[in-house]
Amino acid sequence: MTKTDQPIINYDRCDLCGKCVAACPVNALHMTADGPVFNQPLTCTYCTICEDICPQGAIRAPLTVRWAS
Amino acid sequence: MIDERYFKPIPLISSLSSTTQGMIAERGFLRELQAGETLVIEGMPAEYAYFLVSGSVRVIRMRRDGRMQVLARFGPGAPLNIISLLNQKKVNRASIETLTTTALLVLSASDFDYLLSHAPDFSKALLGIFAERIATITDLAAGLSLYSVRARLAKFLIELADKPDAASGWTQDEIAAHIGTVRDVVGRLLREFEAEGLIKRSRQQISLIDREGLFNQIEHEDR
């Protein structure tokens, strides 16, 4: 699993509200003084709840659409 | 002085006469931003016109409840902040944020006005862009009245999968903005499509499995 397999956090936008950390159903996020980090990246299921709940739009969970081979 | 090779990814500019391109090369400048930087802030005076040389951006607005709403997403070649500059109030109508490392060709408001007055091909090309955007809005309005959100999402997923160079980096918010709905509805429909065997989701990937089934979502409403 690569670093980009987790949602992307824009720390310039983050206001440290902690809603993403509280909402993460698998506790993959942990709040630090600089903002949330994926301290359990392997447990992240890419459910995108963190992206949805962030009021600042600081978290992006980009998707790629393709035809199944 | 901008090297004119930067004009190539911008059809609006690369199609102009050499005289007009010379004016732009002389007056414009390049700006590079990293992913996640804010280029334009909603409500602030509109001071520059931008033309995307490379990278991608999203246009966003803050809603009254404090949440961010994605309005659109643009890639190379797109002119940005033009309507704000043409508007009499000259105020940025929305914020623009970079999604990737981005290079932009920048014209100040006064140079933009100068080109509008002195380069008819520039003005005509801008009118062409407006015509395209009006056509896009008209298509969206037609889609909103003719097709359900379900059909619009199926259609958009097919369009994305058919264009591999445009198929990456879409969030559910951005998909929702593009098809005229909200994120929650996109999320629910993606779950429904998956349950019906039309698509398969795997972390960042949405794989379209049932081509006929997805087309049926659209054709069902064309009858």
CB within 8 Å: B70 and A57: yes
pLDDT of res. B4: 83
- Using an 8 Å CB-CB cutoff, list chain B residues near A65: 157, 160-161, 167, 170, 206, 208
- Tens of pLDDT, residue by residue over B124-135, are 999 998 898 899
Nearest-by-Cβ selection for A5 from B37, B170, B203: B203
| Distance (Å) from the alpha carbon of B212 to chain A's nearest alpha carbon | 12
How far is the C-alpha of A46 from the C-alpha of A52, rounded, in Å? 12
* CA distance between the termini of chain A: 21
Neighbouring-strand partners of residue B170: A63
ipTM of this complex prediction, to 2 decimal places: 0.83
- Tens of pLDDT, residue by residue over B50-85, are 999 999 999 988 877 777 778 888 999 999 999 999
- In this predicted structure, the answer to whether residue A3 has a pLDDT above a threshold of 70 is no
Nearest-by-Cβ selection for A64 from B99, B173, B205: B205
A15 touches chain B (CB under 8 A): no
Nearest-by-Cβ selection for B171 from A12, A62, A67: A62
Provide the strand spans (E) within chain B. 29-33, 38-40, 48-54, 57-62, 68-74, 79-80, 95-98, 102-108, 199-202, 205-208
Radius of gyration of chain B (CA): 19
Q: Which CATH architecture has domain B146-222?
A: Orthogonal Bundle (1.10)
CB within 8 Å: A68 and B157: no
A55 touches chain B (CB under 8 A): yes
Radius of gyration of chain A (CA): 12
CB within 8 Å: B173 and A63: no
- In this predicted structure, the answer to whether residue B32 has a pLDDT above a threshold of 50 is yes
- Tens of pLDDT, residue by residue over B105-118, are 999 999 999 999 99
A1: pLDDT confidence band, cut at 50, 70 and 90? very low
| Distance (Å) from the alpha carbon of B136 to chain A's nearest alpha carbon | 22
- Fold match, B4-134 / B146-222: no
- In this predicted structure, the answer to whether residue B206 has a pLDDT above a threshold of 50 is yes
The closest alpha carbon to B76, from B17, B14, B119, belongs to B14
pLDDT of res. A65: 95
- In this predicted structure, the answer to whether residue A2 has a pLDDT above a threshold of 70 is no
How far is the C-alpha of A50 from the C-alpha of B116, rounded, in Å? 45
Mutate to test the interface with B, among A10, A38, A59, A65 (most CBs of B within 10 A): A65
pLDDT of res. A4: 54
- Using an 8 Å CB-CB cutoff, list chain A residues near B209: 68
Domain A3-60, CATH class in plain words: alpha beta
CA atoms within 13 A on the CB side of B25: 16
Q: B21 near B107, Cβ under 8 Å?
A: no
Q: B143 near B180, Cβ under 8 Å?
A: yes
Domain ranges across chain A: 3-60
* A3-12, A24-33, A53-62: range with lowest mean pLDDT: A3-12
B152's CB contacts (< 8 A; 6+ apart) are B143, B144, B179, B180, B181
pLDDT of res. B31: 97
How far is the C-alpha of A8 from the C-alpha of A37, rounded, in Å? 10
B158: pLDDT confidence band, cut at 50, 70 and 90? very high
Domain ranges across chain B: 4-134, 146-222
pTM for this prediction = 0.77
Which helix (H) or strand (E) segment is B141 a member of?
helix B120-146
Q: What is the CATH number of domain B4-134?
A: 2.60.120.10
Burial class of residue A3, CB neighbours in 10 A (0-12, 13-18, 19+):
exposed
Query: Which residue of chain A has the CA closest to B173?
Result: A52
A68 touches chain B (CB under 8 A): yes
Q: What value does the mean pLDDT of chain B take?
A: 91
Mean pLDDT for the stretch of residues A59-65: 93
